Amino acid sequence: MALGGAVVGGKVAATDPVALVLLRRSGLVAPGLLGGQGKVKVPRRRAAGVAGGVVALEADVLARGFLVGPRLRGHLTGLPVERLVGVGAGLLAALDRLVGAHVPHVPLFRRFPRSVPENTAELYVRRVFTLLLQEPRQPCVLCGAVDTVEPVAPCAHLVCHRCWDGADYSACPICHRRISQHDPFLRPTPAPGGAGVPALPRRAVVLELADDVNAAVHRTVAALLARATPLAPQDRDDLTVLLDRVGHGDLGWLPGAIPVRETRALVLGRLFADPELVDRRAELLGRYVDTATDLLRLLHVMFGGDAGLVTAPAVRLSLPRRLRRTILLRLHKLPFAGLVDDLFRHRRAWLRVAENLHPFDQADRHPRAALAFAVLRGTTVDADTEFGRLLLATAAEQGELVRLVGDQLRVTRWSGRLEQALRSGVDADALRLLAQRPGELARRLVAVAGRAEDTDALLAVVRDALPAVSPGVLIAALGAVRAASWPAGDRLYHPRGGSARLWTEPDRRPRLAAAVGNALDQAITAELLDRAGRLSTVENALLDTGLADLVAPFTERTASGALVRLPRGSAQPLPGNRVVRLFLHWTQPEDRRVDLDLSVALFDGAGSFLAWCDYTRLRYGGDAAVHSGDLTSAPAPLGASEFVDLKIPDLVARGVRYVTMVVFSFNDVPFEAMTDAFAGVMADPPRGSAAFEPSAVEQRFDLTGRVRVATPLLLDLAHGRMRWLDANLTGAGGTHSVARYSATLGLLTAAADRYFAAGTRVSVWELACWHAAARAETTTVRHGNGSLVAYRREPGETVAAYASRLIALGPTGAEPAGGRPDLAALVRGDAEVAERASVFALYPSQVDTGRATPLDAADLVAALARQ
């Protein structure tokens, strides 16, 4: 690290994971956790003192696209120089990891984009010709020169030092695999010079001091536990880190309720792993487990599986006797009808668990649990045995729910009764059953409404059920109702599996009658407004109209960890107006070679395939799209990086509307097998700069999961916007390429853009307006040109009518409010807010998260949970 002109040597302690979480989530710097406790050597002749060191550190932070806030600067100024060096090293290392600068980025052509060959086909012919005909100790088959051909290590391909420029190539010119960095073929390349200084990226954040680390940790944990939608993988990882920090001795930080069952399982899994809490397990189960599926999630977490029940534990369950009895007793106390339904819903998983749970041992202690497993297993009942008599007596207590068929017990499950009732239409019996499961009713609302015989009865049942439904499900139902009420378009599917696989088809569902769709829309909106009105009131709210481009978060359980947390389907203006540079980096594991490929597919406005730019075509339209070259291996420590430069005006001139970014695993190795794999976007990198410029990074995201084909985003050049998809395609076998997927990509690109642009899904703008209309005395709306318009609820105007007027930017005669807002929902957080204000900002910018309460879009949803 360069600090005040000094080269820092010695050993610096590792950064605490808690510091990384706070920095990434809130822009808060915890100096005490950033390392530097070890011995740090500062050469005396080069040391610049504390003042110079702080200035140098600020410059290094700025070069990564961040700013140092006044409180943090004041703290750093008061540190001894040795401590400042350690803290600075830890801070810069953490920032490097956020933007992707923690690894070297060396493309195949080191002077990219200038030295990329014009003719990819000619380059391929030269490579093949050399591979097939070149012989050792023979003249070069390309140029005829003598004594210029040498093998490169470790692939041993014969390379002519005159025909292949070792100052430009960073890998073997023949196979494009990484070679030894000490191989004589590789010659030094002068560092790029003359690069301009890029403007600060949109994602720039003012870093501030974490005045109270424990308080920041507890606030973050509380916000994550209060989420009403499943946590994204990054959120789950962060919560795991923070749970270890809050401590398990005093569980006062645990809330009375954790809305999301997967989050409950994660928390309980951490607590159950603590041997000091063995005596409190029954208490914790009683507080947080109210279904058998909750217990199954917990068991999965405890043994390395997935709380979402997508992947089973990798190790065989081995349950201590005390834990088995605790689990069986909790199952016994659950309502029997729901218990049996849950066991059958995940039958295979529960059959595996039962092998280790031994539910029939001492069954008199938990007879209902034993009965449920007997039904699940199809156990033969012998009335002449004590165990058989126990099962029959317990079954008799359940009334008509359990019946004896031959020598086996059978149950009538709720799902079976519902499907039988729905066969004859949505009549009174079906509505009565659906009313018992409000969440199921909300998820099936469109299908049920389309077949309902009595719409008045349906609306009455829906209104009674809505208070028991989580806000995430309500918002999804509202979007579905609108999509079924408006003219038919495309349907886009995000299956719940282990990755966000995406496919689309025309919406062939029958349209809901306008009156029915409108009534359901009003009922759901009224419920959400009522919940917002129960929250704390504020004097002033500030909203950005640009929030209309952001989709309210959904399917976050598979969201990629990203520098800027854009909800899927959201759009933002293109990050650059001249050049957009896409990048990819990966490091392969030691035991296998991995070849990832960064590609772009180019389409017209109808989604018709026009062209591509990838390893098979390094240039399109001259400089309109330029690929940095295909690297086919990525051993540590260098790994591999690929880039694509997109010149927006040149692409538009060639009739391109959509550019779809795609990352392929050419040899079919899933991303999760990588040591490190991420990609991202840079905006207008300075001319003459290195291929990777940290301060130009606008977005960086992880590549994870059992995925081989990722479609993270698309660029709509006609409207100058980038749409975040964060999705994957299903791919099998190797040799993945754009040519193989061109038709699928075209269909997906146009359909996804139309689907999210249609406006059927609830936007963050609508979400923020609900909060403001129900909670704020005055709401100030900031338009894209910076103008401000104020809204107040008129006398006699209902909250619903006021919210509709605010969402539609209807007429207003209110004067802008004085003072700073207490609630703000912004695209860019560059407005001054009140102390302890609640602030959602897509780009936090100047938001001091040490003094304000930062919110994610998911937090705005979570706040609408019924209290």
For the chain, the first-to-last Cα distance in angstroms comes to 50
Judge contact between 662 and 728, C-beta under 8 A: no
Helices in 315-444 by DSSP H: which ranges?
321-333, 336-345, 347-357, 367-377, 386-396, 414-422, 428-436, 438-443
* Nearest CA-CA partner of 680 in 735, 729, 633, 641: 641
Average pLDDT in the chain: 89
Looking at the chain, how many residues does it have?
Answer: 867
pLDDT attached to residue 9: 37
Q: What is the pLDDT of residue 38?
A: 43
Position 128 confidence tier, pLDDT thresholds 50, 70, 90 = very high
**Averaged pLDDT for residues 829-854:** 91
Q: Which positions ≥6 away from 474 have C-beta within 8 Å?
A: 442, 466, 524, 527, 528, 864
pTM (predicted TM-score): 0.91
Average pLDDT over residues 424-438: 86
Helix (H) or strand (E) segment spanning residue 779: strand 776-782
Q: Has residue 5 got a pLDDT over 60? A: no
Closest to 370 (Cα-Cα) out of 359, 380, 383 = 359
CA distance 613 to 510: 41
Mean pLDDT of 237-243: 93
pLDDT digits (tens, 9 = 90+) for 740-755: 888 888 888 888 898 8
User: Could you give the 3-state DSSP secondary structure of residue 838?
Assistant: strand
The arithmetic mean of pLDDT across residues 245-269, rounded, is: 90
- State the pairing for strand pair 788-791/776-782: antiparallel
Handedness of CA 733, 738, 743, 748 (dihedral sign): positive
Residue spans of the domains in the chain: they are 2-99, 214-412, 427-491+503-527, 538-551+762-862, 557-757
pLDDT per residue as tens digits for the range 311-366 = 878 777 788 899 999 999 999 999 999 999 999 999 999 999 998 899 999 999 99
**Residue 761 tokens, joined:** 């899904």
* Structure tokens belonging to residue 471: 């806000």
Structure confidence at residue 37 as a pLDDT band (50, 70, 90): very low
**Does pLDDT of 719 surpass 90?**
yes
Kind plus residue range of the DSSP H or E element containing 514: helix 514-533
Q: State the architecture of 557-757 in CATH terms.
A: Sandwich (2.60)
Least confident of 430-434, 615-619, 621-625, 835-839: 430-434
3-state secondary structure of 238: helix
Determine the Cα–Cα distance for residues 395 and 344; give it in Å rounded to an integer: 17
Measured between alpha carbons, how far is residue 592 from residues 584, 666, 669 in Å?
19, 13, 9
